Chains A and B, each alone.
Chain A
């Protein structure tokens, strides 16, 4: 669905994105992760046709993006980080308006509102919505024309834990229906939970690209951490793969002196920092 090869882009003559290459298939959630200013949003703008003077190739849904026509957007849904809604119109009126811009068969408005628990707020003005309600309405606006490709920018931003959980369930369900989803986020937990693959983007380059699991397992081995008492509470740790050779641990186990013991895997954030030398949040 998306094929990017040797993509470079510059705002000022100085390279901003350099030699980006990746592919995203149907029914896949692909995450762009990186600190602010790394180039994630620029990459998304290129893929959505908002920036066209790039070098290399960016093919979305079989179309080289710089040569897209307006019908290109019939098959793309974009959920911006900040709501883009008419504040004086109601939720229903907003969806009706944006629905009229597409030729494709639309998902019905009551179904969409129900999906994000806004069915009782259909006739409420958007200006009276909370931040989370606006985020949810903005999200379903991107689904309205049932596009095959979704671009989601921080989709859980501003949502409470319950709505965030529901939103992630919807995103996974859309993936399972065959949609290709590009997720741009700072949130490593969301990325780990949602993405089939992620690309770490720093200074306009892809520093790593793999599944979250592979990234975690390849770069950081799981550790075993334990605590014991010896005059005062002390702690120790060893690699999970070297448990049998930790003499202190073996002795503590045989003497029943352990106070606590648990395994500790690195997080995607740890891996990001290890690979890129940069903090994400």
Chain B
């Protein structure tokens, strides 16, 4: 009931702030781009677009959402309500994954991607990872500038290795790197599911544990302690 409330609240918040409208527009733009490239490159182009946008949108949207919640002091009320930290995090992750996965699915269909379930799964896993990363960063920042400055190295760290792999640089170092696995799944290149899915699940658990700690500190800082 409480999780449902938080989830509906987050979806309503995202709708009111135009996230859905923005992604309807962007989806049309992305479809136009995919249709403009030669057929041989469609699938790869779609994979790049899905990986760099819907799969990673969570990190930026999370910054916007949490900083708005901080500026409107909504977190004060949430801190003295019966919600649990996992409910707060899960509502944000699930609500943004709905947008990401839907857009990823639509773009996959538009590109005529063979394994559409794989595209949707990869987009979903990427969304969860990057939303958790957004929570980790946003929970400890109080300004948009600081959020952006902190996001850049995190994005480089996660975004560069998958592109090396996508464009042919083959190295075993990044076999179990979370963003590499996500792009591999989106692009339909995943071969070792039994290893890759548990690996990405472990990364998600790792990010979640850090996010849980950050949100806990954020709510405690409302109580006046800056840790």
- Which residues from chain A sit less than 8 Å from chain B, CB to CB? 11, 41-42, 45, 48-51, 70-74, 76, 78, 80, 82-89, 93, 97-103, 141
Contact = CB atoms under 8 A, between A and B. Distances in A.
Interface stretch (B41-49, B73-81, B96-104, B179-187): B73-81
A98 B222 CA distance: 18
A88 B73 CA distance: 13
A210 to B, nearest CB: 28
Interface of B: 1-2, 4-6, 8-9, 12-13, 16-17, 72-84, 219-220, 222-225
Given A83-B73, A101-B2, A103-B1, A51 B80 contact: no
Given A84-B73, A101-B5, 7 more contacts: A45-B223, A48-B80, A97-B5, A98-B77, A100-B5, A100-B8, A102-B82
B224 A51 contact: yes
A79 to B, nearest CB: 10
Contact of B81 (A45, A87, A93, A98): A98
A78 B8 CA distance: 23
B16 A89 contact: yes
A233 to B, nearest CB: 53
B7 to A, nearest CB: 10
16 contacts: A50-B222, A70-B84, A73-B80, A78-B80, A80-B76, A85-B74, A87-B72, A89-B12, A89-B13, A89-B16, A93-B12, A97-B12, A100-B2, A100-B6, A101-B5, A102-B2
Contacts of B222: 50
Contacts, number: 86
B16 A88 contact: yes
A11 B82 contact: no
B4 A100 contact: yes
Given A51-B223, A70-B84, A84 B4 contact: no
Interface centre among A41, A49, A88, A101 (most CB of B within 10 A): A101
Contacts of A103: 1-2, 82
A45 to B, nearest CB: 5
Given A42-B224, A85-B72, A76 B9 contact: no
Contact of B77 (A41, A42, A84): A84
Contacts of A51: 220, 223-225
B82 to A, nearest CB: 4
A84 B222 CA distance: 12
Nearest to B9: A97
Instruction: Name the 10 nearest CB pairs between A and B, nearest first.
Output: A100-B5, A50-B223, A84-B73, A84-B77, A97-B9, A84-B76, A88-B16, A70-B82, A73-B82, A78-B80
A80 B77 contact: yes
A32 to B, nearest CB: 15
Contacts of A48: 80
A73 B81 contact: yes
B5 to A, nearest CB: 3
Contacts of A86: 13, 72, 74
A141 B80 CA distance: 12
A73 B87 CA distance: 15
A100 B12 CA distance: 13
A11 B73 contact: no
Contacts of B83: 70, 101
A233 B225 CA distance: 58
Contacts of A74: 82
